[in-house]
Structure 1
Amino acid sequence: MNKFFLVAVHTYQTKLKAKAFLVTTAITCLLIIGVANIQPIIEFFTGDEKPHVAVIDRTGSLYGPLAKQANHNQIALTKITDMENEAKEAVKEGKWDGLLVLSMDAEGLPAAVYYANTIVDNQTPEVLERALSQLKTALSAAKLGLTDEQMAELSKPVPFQKVALEKNAKTEEELNEARSLVYVLLFAMYMFVLMYGGMIATEVATEKSSRVMEILVSSVPPVQQLFGKIIGVALVSLTQFFVFFAVAFAALKTSGQEVWRFLGLDHLPASIFVYALVFFLLGYLLYAVLFAVLGSLVSRVEDVQPAITPVMMLVVAAFMIAMFGLNAPESAFVTGASFVPFFAPMLMFLRIGLVSVPGWEVALCLALLAATIALLIYFGAKVYRGGVLMYGRMNIFKDIKQAIQLTKK
């Protein structure tokens, strides 16, 4: 056991002191601070500058009410008497951000054409279009002789309630909060496995390429060495995640946000966080063993990426199915896939977070996941012990067979 801790601590300290780790952590922390304060940053660079739009009103009556609504939506309108061609030239020269030409259609209702150098900016024309639509509604109501009370009645939304008949079904508010948490944790699990799983494979391949592995294998049992690498990298990743969380928490506090309310997690039961932790750890362990075993089969660090690509594709597939499942958690496809061990950490957690899952399904999923991990550890230790002693051109299936044969000797 002492050798296991020795490998884990050595891996942890080595990765923690690496320049790449320190630089990546620092850059990510800066990005987190930037995202948490994105609004003040945007305002600092743009100031209070509004888009300036010139208006040619051929109706003689639409500019006044339109200007009031546009000013409320942070758009500065200026009525001009220039000819249309002259106004377009002024837009090209940068005097105006855009030109709005107002007219009436055959039914006497507002119509407009918006000119700009490019139509990349969607916000300004969309705001003007909404304002004109409101004016059109008001004019149509006036033509029909409708009163303000009648217009207000027509504008009322249809009373529509969603009622769940299941006894333990989540309310709409709980579903929205759960969906936010599920999405965040699915994305975190996805990034966690891809980033740190690759780190495990690279760590094993680096030591193997330097021939240090031959000494380690003779003094440390393969299972202890395998788990020492996995736990060491896991500690590194948890350290980095803790730093990210602390920076994000402080940044949100500084910007005046209530963290749990900002994340929409203030009404969720504690059980969902427990399930999140369980599936997060089991998913990491499942994929970490695969990454470590594949890393032991390559002789050069540059061969790591091709070797671990099949496992990465499994992670990507699980994440894509989970994204589909966010809107259809009860579909037969998602339900069936949630029992596949390589998809279960994401999909079963998704189902638990969004729908009522029978206890036996959760137990069966955990049993299958635990059995798969145990099998991978048993099989992986054999491959790992032989694989770290193999050198030469990589051939995954052939190398696995050869690694097991070396272990038996």
Structure 2
Amino acid sequence: MNSFWIILLHTYLTKLKSKSFIITTILTVVIVLGLTNIQNIINLFDKGGAKETVAVLDETGKLYEPLKQQLAAINKEIKLTIYSHNEKEAEKAVAAGDFDALIQLRLNQEQLPEAVFKAKSIADTSLFTDLQTGLQQLKTTFAASKLNLTQAQLTKLYEPVNFKKIALEKNAKTEEELNQARGLVYFLLFIIYFAVIMYANMIAMEVATEKSSRVMEILISSVSPIKQMFAKILGVGLLSLTQLVVFLLVGYYSLKSNMNSFQDGFWDVFGFGNVPVMTIIYAVVFFILGYFLYATLAAFLGSLVSRIEDVQQMITPMTLLVVAGFMIAMFGLGKPDTPFITITSYFPFFTPMIMFLRVGMLSIPAWETMLGIAILVATIIVLAIFGARVYRGGVLMYGKSSSFKDIKKALQLTKNE
């Protein structure tokens, strides 16, 4: 058993101290800090020139002031300036960069506001959308005055309809609980996707690298291949947890430091304030089982190749399985109770993502969740036994490997030992 822990610690510490791991961790931390401070970064670059200036040609002489008042309530960073010259001069001013855009105000045949928006480029739609919203509100006001509607009547007309959602199913989640669960499920799906794509590949690369350097020939003489495989899986698993903890802690404290404007706490703002404890437990369980499922698969696929260049080709089907499960789960966020989602949640390679999606968003019977976990555990055991046999023969195979026919060769080598 000592040899198992030696390989586990060696795998963990070697990867932990490697330049690639340190550089990747630092770069990812920088990206996390950038994303969690994006508003501060935008404000830093916008400092001194944040306001967007718009030249206004008011052909009516009575739309400029009302529009200005409407925009003040929508976006205070838009500055309207009445332009006294003609249209051509205004267009030249916009082209020269004196203004961000030009808006021409006029009345249509029904004496209601309409406008033409001009800018050097219409790729940025935010300014146009804000102006359009202000103009729409202005048109509504004009139309209401023509119909002799009071402000109270107008407010009543646009008051949202009272339309409640009531679930008839026993113990069904409320809309608030669904929103909280959706946030947690969305978060976990990305974590599983990221962890599998990155760390399962790392396991396959680790095995292939050792084979290409012929280190494996020395290792198998003193340690059984089965111990090697599971030691590497656990070693890279600890490494992945170390890196994920760093990312999550950096992201958490960075977000928390930028939330002074929020009255609620961190977890309440992101919808995790009242998430049931069992949902959190299931999240951890499905994450761990999902990792071991794909890590075991990656380990024995990596043992089939002896050149690093062949690793990506060999594990491509595994990567496609992860992508497929992720895409199905993304679809399921909007319709978690469809038969398609229910059926695919019992397919073991999709279960970590899709079964947790159902657990988080629906009130499904406990036996369905337990069945999903049992299928996952059984698949991992079968895959581990089969993978260990393939791994045992695969580490003895050298030469170009680009086909799954090599699995049969690896099994034959295992029998001949």
Q: TM-score if structure 1 supplies the norm length? A: 0.98
Partner of 2:175: 172
Map residues 303-314 of structure 1 onto 2, 5 A cutoff: 303-314=310-321
Partner of 2:32: 32
Map residues 334-353 of structure 1 onto 2, 5 A cutoff: 334-353=341-360
Contact 2:307 2:400 survives alignment (8 Å): no
Partner of 2:113: 110
Contact 1:69 1:131 survives alignment (8 Å): yes
Contact 1:62 1:102 survives alignment (8 Å): yes
In 2, Cα distance between equivalents of 1:121 and 1:142: 33
| 2:393 pairs with 1:386 | yes
| 2:190 pairs with 1:183 | no
Task: Give structure 1 stretches of 5+ with no counterpart.
Answer: none
Map residues 225-240 of structure 1 onto 2, 5 A cutoff: 225-240=228-243
| 2:306 pairs with 1:299 | yes
SS of corresponding position for 1:177: helix
In 2, Cα distance between equivalents of 1:55 and 1:317: 51
In 2, Cα distance between equivalents of 1:289 and 1:241: 20
Partner of 1:51: 52
Q: 1:271 aligns with which of 275, 278, 292?
A: 278
| 2:67 pairs with 1:63 | no
Query: 1:145 deviation in Å?
Result: 0.7
In 1, Cα distance between equivalents of 2:82 and 2:71: 13
Contact 1:71 1:77 survives alignment (8 Å): no
Instruction: For residues 358-384 of structure 1, give each alpha carbon's deviation from its aligned partner in whole angstroms, at most 9, with x where no partner exists.
Output: 122112222221111111111101100
Runs of 4+ in 1 over 4 A off after TM superposition: none
Contact 1:178 1:268 survives alignment (8 Å): yes
In 1, Cα distance between equivalents of 2:266 and 2:11: 34
Query: 1:121 deviation in Å?
Result: 1.4
Contact 2:102 2:118 survives alignment (8 Å): yes
Partner of 2:5: 5
In 2, Cα distance between equivalents of 1:216 and 1:30: 38
Task: Give structure 2 stretches of 5+ with no counterpart.
Answer: none
Instruction: For residues 337-366 of structure 1, give each alpha carbon's deviation from its aligned partner in whole angstroms, at most 9, with x where no partner exists.
Output: 000001111100000000011122112222
Query: 1:217 deviation in Å?
Result: 1.4
Q: 2:127 aligns with which of 119, 124, 128?
A: 124
In 2, Cα distance between equivalents of 1:52 and 1:363: 60
Contact 2:67 2:134 survives alignment (8 Å): yes
Partner of 1:245: 248
Partner of 1:211: 214
SS of corresponding position for 2:55: strand
| 2:373 pairs with 1:372 | no
Q: What fraction of aligned residue pairs are identical, expressed as a percent? A: 55
SS of corresponding position for 2:221: helix
Map residues 348-359 of structure 1 onto 2, 5 A cutoff: 348-359=355-366
In 2, Cα distance between equivalents of 1:318 and 1:386: 30
Q: 1:320 aligns with which of 327, 340, 361?
A: 327
Task: Give the RMSD, CA atoms, in angstroms.
Answer: 1.1
Query: 1:31 deviation in Å?
Result: 1.5
Q: TM-score if structure 2 supplies the norm length? A: 0.96
Aligned length: 409
Contact 1:297 1:396 survives alignment (8 Å): no
Letter in 1 for 2:60: T
Map residues 148-159 of structure 1 onto 2, 5 A cutoff: 148-159=151-162
